[in-house]
Amino acid sequence: MPFVPHTEQDVRDMLGVIGVPDIETLFDEIPAALRCGELNGVPEALSEQQVSRLMSRRAAADGEPLCFIGAGAYEHHIPAAVWQIVTRGEFYSAYTPYQAEASQGTLQLIYEFQSMMTALTAMDVSNASLYDGASALSEALLMAVRSNRKSSSRRVLMPVNVHPAYRKTAHAIVTNQDIDLVEVAYDPLGGHTALDSLKAHAGEDITALVIQQPNFFGVLEEVDELTDWAHANGALVIAVVNPVATALLKPPGRWGTEGADIVVGEGQPLGVPLSSGGPYFGFMCARQQHVRQMPGRIVGRTVDRDGRTGYTLTLQAREQHIRRSKATSNICTNQGLLVTAATIHMALLGGEGLRRVALACHANTRALVEKLGNDYIRPRFNRPYFHEAVMSSALALPRLLRPLYAHNLQPGYELAGDYPELADCLLVCATETKTEDDLNLYRDHLARVIEKQTSAGCPVQPKMA
Amino acid sequence: MNETPDDLKYSKSHEWVRVNDDGTVTIGVTDHAQAQLGDLVYVEVPDEGRELEAEEACAVVESVKAASDVYAPLAGTVAAANEALADTPEAVNNDAYGDGWLIRLKPADAAAVNALMSAAEYQAFVESE
């Protein structure tokens, strides 16, 4: 869908037709006190050449470091064909069309995306996507409260090992809707959510349990027993999953006896570049019985009056442009462009390709954990992990890592900010993009820094030897 | 012209009320309302035992073009809900005053039903809308 800006003449013609002297007049019913005034912070327009220079300079400032940070966004190889196809004129738009504007091609693409997501998660239905993983979890909480009619408590068990940013977003969105997020501590040795930590809530009215697989620490949860416990206690199960990991692990639709009820996650690992944190997209799948409480748009396949296949938005009656304040959500859309990339990415890799990516990520992270381990650095948790692991340092972490940053290496995500009890702990990730040389470079840099900081004259002694 | 049986009472939000012999009332949406909604694809009814205030949203009727709330014409406790509509929402279109009933209510105040409109008053109300 091309975007053609209005010329001054277009604007004058339109104002003339409706009999209004200028655009300002269209807004005159908004009291002056409520208006934020001029946009003084917006600089003068630049020429294309000036913009190119500016953006190149800013891109160079990133330094393209060798990145071992995951923590919710992951560096993966994206086949060149993905964005070559996405940027074709037929697809390339930041705008997500409404029903009347959506072409059959756009609708079919979303339908294919939904089909792929249901296949990946082993769920019945998928929506056309949401803003990002964090807002997708919040939508899932609201959906669970609407859907679980056996529960009236609006209490959701939220393990502390769910992504901290997702938990903050959930607090911002759902606490004013009288939903109570009850924290569940993680096992101090395993980093997982132990079944025993849930048992304190047995017999209580619980609306839903959130399970992140793998959890924020990269640790694998015992999803079967957690799911069965939740269902036995009348709670729905909201799964937060990494789509790449899901290609390898048991899909949430088959967790426990009945499977998860709602599945959400961050779609970025499917063909979306890191690009300083966004735009990304969230995904959401559910069991058929919850479909009417699912927010966002869902594309369905049907036939026209001549029997030809056609695609259309379906189950629209509860969307915000129809139901206003009673819509299933008033803050959601789908992320058309990113979903286009994800669909092409998944189509190019196929199920087997995605599985191999997951295997390579896991193998690389295991190799990294092994290489990094020494007298001062060791894995913090003793449970299996996917493609991230928490490393605990006997040396003060900020001082240890500073020289690595100077080597243009991002060694991992420091956990002290989100988890004060995990001071001097680092969340590391090595996806399939890392080579043996990359891992060795990290190991060697780190070993040199440790040697310098612990050699004679330095009072620090190993704590964990 | 849509059907408006004389033996029922009506609300301004287009629900009908039938007083049963056992003192409960049966509630549904009027023939006029179902015609305005179009083909229903889903009906959500409240759970038995739920306490309803008068004019509280208590059910949802969803057609191909909109989802609309159904309001309790009077306060009371839900004695029964028409669960069969989950599989046959079209009953509301085909038989709004019969198989398309939504809930049976035990009224908090049996006299409250007298405040509702008669068939003639409802017809006049619909024409004036």
Interface A-B: count of C-beta contacts within 8 A: 21
Terminus-to-terminus CA distance in chain B, angstroms? Answer: 15
Q: In the predicted model, what is the mean pLDDT of chain A?
A: 93
Return contacts of A455-463, CB within 8 angstroms, 24+ apart. Answer: A460/A395, A462/A375, A462/A376, A462/A394, A463/A394
Distances (CA, A) of B71 to A109, B12, B28, B55: 40, 10, 10, 5
Q: What is the pTM of this model?
A: 0.86
B67/A149 touch (CB, cutoff 8 Å), yes or no: no
- Asked whether the predicted pLDDT for residue B86 surpasses 60, the reply is yes
| Nearest residue in chain B measured CA to CA from A315 | B64
Could you tell me if B42 lies within 8 Å of chain A, comparing CB atoms? yes
- Asked whether the predicted pLDDT for residue A461 surpasses 70, the reply is no
Write the CATH number of the domain with boundaries B9-110: 2.40.50.100
Chain centre distance of CA A214: 13
Alpha-carbon distance of A122 to B5, in angstroms, equals 50
Kindly state the helix (H) or strand (E) to which residue B62 belongs, with its residue range.
strand B57-63
- In a 3-state reduction of DSSP, which class is residue A322? helix
pLDDT of A248-296, one tens digit each? 999 999 999 999 999 999 999 999 999 989 899 999 999 999 998 999 8
Q: Is the ipTM of this complex over 0.85?
A: no
**Quick one: which of B1, B66, B63, B54 has its CA closest to B27?**
B54
Tokens 């091609």 appear where? A105
Alpha-carbon distance of B65 to B67, in angstroms, equals 7
**Residue A41: which pLDDT band, with cuts at 50, 70 and 90?**
confident
Minimal Cβ distance to B69: which of A292, A322, A326: A326
**Residue A226: which pLDDT band, with cuts at 50, 70 and 90?**
very high
Q: Sign of the CA dihedral A329, A330, A336, A342?
A: negative
A317/B66 touch (CB, cutoff 8 Å), yes or no: yes
Could you tell me if B44 lies within 8 Å of chain A, comparing CB atoms? yes
**Quick one: which of A257, A443, A280 has its CA closest to A364?**
A443
By the 8 A CB rule, do A412 and A391 touch?
yes
| Nearest residue in chain B measured CA to CA from A322 | B66
Alpha-carbon distance of A3 to B24, in angstroms, equals 60
Distances (CA, A) of A100 to A92, A107, A156, A243, A312: 18, 11, 38, 31, 10
- In a 3-state reduction of DSSP, which class is residue B104? strand
For position A463, what pLDDT does the model report? Answer: 59
Percent of chain A having pLDDT more than 90?
Answer: 80
For position A3, what pLDDT does the model report? Answer: 61
Could you tell me if B51 lies within 8 Å of chain A, comparing CB atoms? no
Alpha-carbon distance of A393 to A379, in angstroms, equals 9
For position A1, what pLDDT does the model report? Answer: 45
What are residue A347's phi and psi, to 5 degrees? Answer: -65, -40
Tokens 């940027």 appear where? A87
pLDDT of A309-355, one tens digit each? 999 988 877 777 777 777 888 777 778 899 999 999 999 999 999 99
For position A457, what pLDDT does the model report? Answer: 56
Cis peptide before A279 (omega within 30 of 0): yes
Q: Give all domains of chain A, ordered by start, each with its CATH number.
A: 81-345 (3.40.640.10), 351-454 (3.90.1150.10)
**Quick one: which of A219, A221, A175 has its CA closest to A198?**
A221
